[in-house]
Amino acid sequence: MNTIDAKTLQRAFLAGAKSLEAKKEWINELNVFPVPDGDTGTNMTMTIMSAAREVAAIEEPTMENLAKAISSGSLRGARGNSGVILSQLFRGFTKEIKSLETITTTTLANAFVRATETAYKAVMKPKEGTILTVAKGMADKAVELVTETEDVIEFAQKVIAHGDHVLSQTPEMLPILKQAGVVDSGGQGLMQVMKGCLDGLLGKETDLHVEPKAEAAPSRTGENAEQRAVLEEADIKFGYCTEFIINVEKEYGDRQEREFKTYLESIGDSIVVVSDDDVVKVHVHTNDPGLAIQKALTFGPLSRMKIDNMREEHEERLIKDSERKAREQKALEAVGDPEAALSQGDEQQPRKEYGFIAVSIGRGFGEIFQGIGADYLIEGGQTMNPSTEDMLNAIDKVNADTIYILPNNSNIILAAEQAASLAEDKNIVVVPSKTVPQGITGIINFVPDLSPQENKEAMMAEMGRVKTGQITYAVRDTVIDDKEIHAGDIMGIGDAGILCVGKSVMDTALDTLKAMVDEESELITIYYGVDIEDETAEKFLERVEEAWPQCEVELHGGGQPIYYYLMSVE
């Protein structure tokens, strides 16, 4: 096989996506920290499947429409650092192929190089021994092979073999991988995609079916948060929730977008218009969906059209059984629901100078963030990293000139920065908070009179004074930082790694604080999770006050899952 056409590329990409999806739990197991989180495998799978859904929907594939689907789908669906890096690899790759009719080994080599360059640029401090190293190794091998073969299959097999070799060397580049006895999980995920793509090229029998994305992801109450907010209103001004995608064929620049938004505002509200290259996603509440559709058609054909009668939905909601509603509320109180604390958007409020978006976990943390001024909360954190599109949707909901995003997790910062680069008409400032306590400190230290850059620097300086400890349980046996860990052990995790391992939640939490508190410490704040009873938390508070009488100690119900306690020391 000397060339790859669009149909073959479509099959190869879908096979790569399905290959990764099939192995996601195995890749999760490669994570160095044995915490009970869906992480690398889950994030990379959700990223690539976002693109795969768009690729699978293309009936007549061309390099151009495949490139657009792969790039746009993965960009918006990117979750976690590994997912964002994967989306950037796809972005660089597709830029190289989008104007071609067929792909050769020379094309592949150029595309691999461009993919690697794009991904490295997206990461502020690239670290070797990661997915980036594996990608670069394959790109270097691809360049070397161009003069040796024109056979795409032979080329791909040799590139993949070299990628496996580079992956096997990642423990030598990152000591923490070697100590844990694993290779880099992101690199393994990338190799899984590559091997699936090769199977697709070879025509191996593979299930390429991709489930289309549900129009509205259900929350714990079975209803979309936006729908709940809308249906709470007895008087619905605009009756039809209208959504569609414009596949732009006519001129559509900044001026056209402003005019289009102005027109939508004249016929409805709750307007969201997100542009990405030649694709525009539109959401509007209106009494005449036809007017919105007719206007949109002047820019190009439409797809993914969806119109819901909100008044009808409201009437159905009113006759729902009150007993079921009570059961739902009881369930929410049991597990904590950050969405209950969400500000669902202030389209009706006047534009303001600044606003805040924070990633939060648990009802208690949601209430805390709201109390200190957060305009919009994204449910997520360590157990579920929100996507770039989740960030963009939040940005659309906050009606402010400058919006500060607090990711509150190191694995969410890249997605936030990617969303910031895609946002329009608003100045987005990502304050790189790595923990929820850091995010709380950041907002508290915001000063309205300072410029956005000055505020970011000041907030980061104050966040740097915050030490965070997290108490959770191990899901497998491993060795990290010379600490032997067994499944079921309780771990105290600090900002730079695992601080202690024990059998008791309270004792391990106290040992974690011992490693965090020093002579300069003044304030200890404890946030207890959904699995800790109030009485147990009060006992822990007493022991902390007894151990460190020189410090002020605060106790709050965070309501977070998985982590028994989150603790900060300042």
In tens, the pLDDT along 320-358 reads: 444 444 544 443 443 334 344 344 444 456 889 999 999
User: If residue 430 lies in a helix (H) or strand (E), which one and from where to where?
Assistant: strand 427-430
Radius of gyration of the chain (CA): 25
pLDDT at 565 over 50: yes
Instruction: Give tens-digit pLDDT for 380-407.
Output: 755 578 889 889 999 998 999 999 999 9
Q: What is the pLDDT of residue 381?
A: 58
Alpha helices in 464-503 (DSSP H): none
- Between 219-223, 444-448, 507-511, the lowest mean confidence (pLDDT) is in 219-223
CA angle 60, 63, 64 (to 5 degrees): 90
Phi and psi based region of residue 189 (left: phi greater than 0; alpha: psi -120 to 50; beta: remaining) = alpha
At 36 the pLDDT is: 59
The string of pLDDT tens digits covering residues 196-254 is 999 999 988 777 777 766 543 333 223 334 333 333 443 567 778 788 888 888 888 87
What does the alpha-carbon distance between residue 374 and residue 385 come to, in Å, rounded to a whole number?
A: 19
Neighbouring-strand partners of residue 125: none
Q: Are 457 and 465 in contact (CB under 8 A)?
A: no
The pLDDT of residue 331 is 39
Q: How far apart are CA 203 and CA 201, in angstroms?
A: 5
Residue 162: pLDDT band with limits 50, 70, 90 = very high
d(CA 84, CA 431) in angstroms, rounded, equals 18
Cα 86 to chain centroid distance, Å, stands at: 12
3-state secondary structure (DSSP) of residue 470: strand
Report the distance separating Cα 523 and Cα 447, nearest Å.
22
What average pLDDT does the structure give for the chain? 84
**Residue whose token pair is 């990633």:** 359
Per-residue pLDDT, 329: 47
Please give the pLDDT value at position 65: 94
Q: What are residue 372's phi and psi, to 5 degrees?
A: -100, 10
Report d(CA 216, CA 55) in Å as an integer: 20
- pLDDT for residue 75 is more than 70: yes
pLDDT score of 223: 33
Separation in Å, CA 218 to CA 123, 226, 285, 366: 33, 11, 20, 19
> What's residue 532's pLDDT?
92
How far, in Å, CA of 223 to CA of 27, rounded? 32
Q: Strand 478-480 relative to strand 483-485: parallel, antiparallel, unpaired?
A: antiparallel
For residues 115-119, average pLDDT: 93
Q: What confidence category does residue 455 fall into, taking pLDDT thresholds of 50, 70 and 90?
A: very high
Residue 33 banded pLDDT, cuts 50, 70, 90: low
At 254-310, the pLDDT tens digits run: 788 888 888 988 998 777 677 666 788 787 888 888 999 999 999 999 887 888 776
Beta bridge partners of 490: 473, 502
Which helix (H) or strand (E) segment holds residue 498: the answer is: strand 497-502
**536 vs 560: which has the higher pLDDT:** 536
pLDDT at 226: 39
Q: How many CB atoms lie within 10 A of CB 284?
A: 25
Q: Assign 3-class secondary structure to 22-68.
A: HCHHHHHHCCCCCCCCCCHHHHHHHHHHHHHHHHHCCCCCCHHHHHH
Q: Closest by alpha carbon to 177, among 520, 534, 517, 481?
A: 481
Residue 546 has a CB neighbour count (10 Å cut-off) of 9
CB 27 within 8 A of CB 44: yes
Question: Starting at the edge strand that comes first in sequence, how are the strands of the sheet with 523-528 ordered?
Answer: 497-502, 490-494, 467-473, 565-569, 523-528, 552-557
Supply the pLDDT for residue 225.
Answer: 40
DSSP string, 336-373: --GGGG-----TTSPPEEEEEEEEE-SHHHHHHHHHTT
If you average pLDDT over residues 79-104, what whole number do you get?
A: 92
| 454 pLDDT more than 90 | yes
**Does position 371 have pLDDT exceeding 60, yes or no?**
yes
Residue 56: band (very low, low, confident or very high) from pLDDT cuts 50, 70, 90: very high
Q: What is the layout of strands, in order, in the sheet containing 427-430? A: 376-379, 352-360, 400-406, 427-430
In degrees rounded to 5, what are phi and psi of residue 563? -100, 115
- Both structure tokens of 38: 């869906």
480 strand-pairing partners? 483
The model's pTM: 0.69
> Across residues 410-421, what is the average pLDDT?
90
- Residue ranges of alpha helices (H) inside 225-275 are 225-231, 254-267
Span 484-506, mean pLDDT? 91
List Cβ neighbours of 286 (8 Å cut-off, separation of 6 or more): 238, 240, 242, 264, 267, 268, 292
Q: What average pLDDT does this structure show over 464-471?
A: 93
**500-to-74, 181, 332, 505 alpha-carbon distances in Å:** 38, 20, 32, 11
